[in-house]
Amino acid sequence: MEKISRYILVFIAVLTLAIFLPKLYWMAFEKPVWKPFVQYSCINNDFMIQRIREKKWMDTKGKEYSREEYEQTLPMMFFKQLLASGTMPDSINGTALDMRAISREKSFFRLKASEIDAPCPDLYPLFESWSGRAKLELPEDFFRITWRIEFIEASTNKLLEEKSQLFSAALFHNGFSFPAKLISGLPTPRKTCDEGYLIVDSKDQLFHLKMIKGKPFVKKVDIPEGVKFRHISCVDFKNKDFYAYLFSDKNEIYILTQNDYQVIKWLIDGYDLANCDLKIFGDLFNYTVAIEVNDRIKMIALDKQFQVVNTYGEEWPVKEDMLEGRIFASLFPAQLSMTSDNSKFIRFYFSPSNGFNWIFVNLLLMTFHFIWILRRKAKLKNHLADLVIVVLSGIFGFIAIHLFQNKFFD
């Protein structure tokens, strides 16, 4: 039992060291990586790149611009500045520029991988869509969808049976198959208006649910055959073009248009829900999609008919590629972490190091330990497991077996 107890301690120590030694290493040696900021220019029909660290502004061909020149290539983004400096054009590409239109068409959407792989709330507030009031008010009850939809009044924690039955029937009659797989909406009173929720049922069908003057509004949305939505982000844009961005389990991006409920696929590749940071900039002329991973960016510019007009990609070295990263990969066989940039769940995230240099370090440490065993004139048989631990876990195991000494077991 003492031996088992020791090995458990060694295991716990290896686990702990595998989490904190790499963390401490990066805290000491990591240098910031300066990512470029890229935007599509409707003036140049090219992507404009701002390199913050070098304080340079350029296009994809490498031509450099001054800050003012750069801002002029991006009038949709910098219209306030251009208006102030009197350099705002009257029209672009034959279209007269109306400030209100520019403002209305401007949108920004961001979706991080960690927002997708995250815990979901189980209850949602269904706002009154046609309240007649200027501001939205949080409803008194919240709903959940299990074998039916149920509304529970917050102040009393009591089920509102009548309302629950009413809405459940509405869903049922529209072909909803309980329970819900996905519920998406904007559960906050801080929006311009309420468009209810987009709900995916157990058969991957898509429904739109609203409450209009206390009555249920349910619309089944026709979606392309075989498409399963992994994530839906409802949006509240001034132009009211669409309800949401939808993301399929095949990493496709769709939009759902308002009122006519068209599900339109954007021809974008290179996006992975599991590890990409997605940004979509909307303006009067274009949609600019930025797909970012920690070592590269892919830019796709679409016109207002969602056709791809231009693309750009760039890669840069990350910490793993630098000298400190290569030393890291030699020193530590792997890294454990409880958190991940791509998820809000706490798990044991295991990342093995690049390459196999760490094997040499592990063997070296094993040799040190072997010499130590010989010098102590200990029985090798009793220390074999320790040697294996060092070979497999390297510096973590080496520290652990000395912390919890293999003494008195000879």
Q: Which token pair is 43? A: 């003036």
Answer for the pair 284, 249: CB distance below 8 angstroms, yes or no: no
Is the Cβ of residue 36 or residue 139 nearer to other proteins in the bound state? 139
Give min distance, CB of 6 to other proteins, in A.
5
Give min distance, CB of 389 to other proteins, in A.
16
Give min distance, CB of 245 to other proteins, in A.
20
Give min distance, CB of 183 to other proteins, in A.
12
Is the Cβ of residue 122 or residue 272 nearer to other proteins in the bound state? 122
Q: Which token pair is 112? A: 């991080």
Give min distance, CB of 340 to other proteins, in A.
11
Is the Cβ of residue 142 or residue 281 nearer to other proteins in the bound state? 142
- Beta bridge mates, 208: 198, 219
**DSSP 8-state secondary structure symbol assigned to residue 131:** -
Is the Cβ of residue 108 or residue 350 nearer to other proteins in the bound state? 350
Other C-beta atoms closer than 10 Å to the C-beta of 238 total: 13
Is the Cβ of residue 43 or residue 378 nearer to other proteins in the bound state? 378
Is the Cβ of residue 2 or residue 260 nearer to other proteins in the bound state? 2
Give min distance, CB of 244 to other proteins, in A.
18
Residues that bind other proteins (CB under 8 A): 1-2, 4-6, 8-9, 11-13, 15-16, 19-20, 118-119, 121-125, 138-142, 144, 152-157, 187-188, 338-339, 344-348, 403-405, 407-408
Provide long-range contacts, Cβ within 8 A and 24+ apart, for 94-102: 95/284, 95/285, 97/284, 101/284, 102/76, 102/283, 102/284
Give min distance, CB of 256 to other proteins, in A.
23
CA neighbor of 331 nearest in space, from 2, 29, 12, 5: 29
CA–CA gap between residue 245 and residue 236 (Å, rounded) = 11
Give min distance, CB of 386 to other proteins, in A.
14
Give strand ranges (E) for 75-203: 91-92, 95-96, 107-111, 124-125, 141-145, 149-153, 158-160, 180-185, 197-201
Q: Which token pair is 241? A: 């073009």
133's CB contacts (< 8 A; 6+ apart) are: none
119's CB contacts (< 8 A; 6+ apart) are: 344, 345
> DSSP of 199-212, one letter per residue?
EEETTS-EEEEEEE
Q: What angle do CA 88, 90, 95 make, to 5 degrees?
A: 125
Is the Cβ of residue 114 or residue 239 nearer to other proteins in the bound state? 114
Is the Cβ of residue 56 or residue 344 nearer to other proteins in the bound state? 344
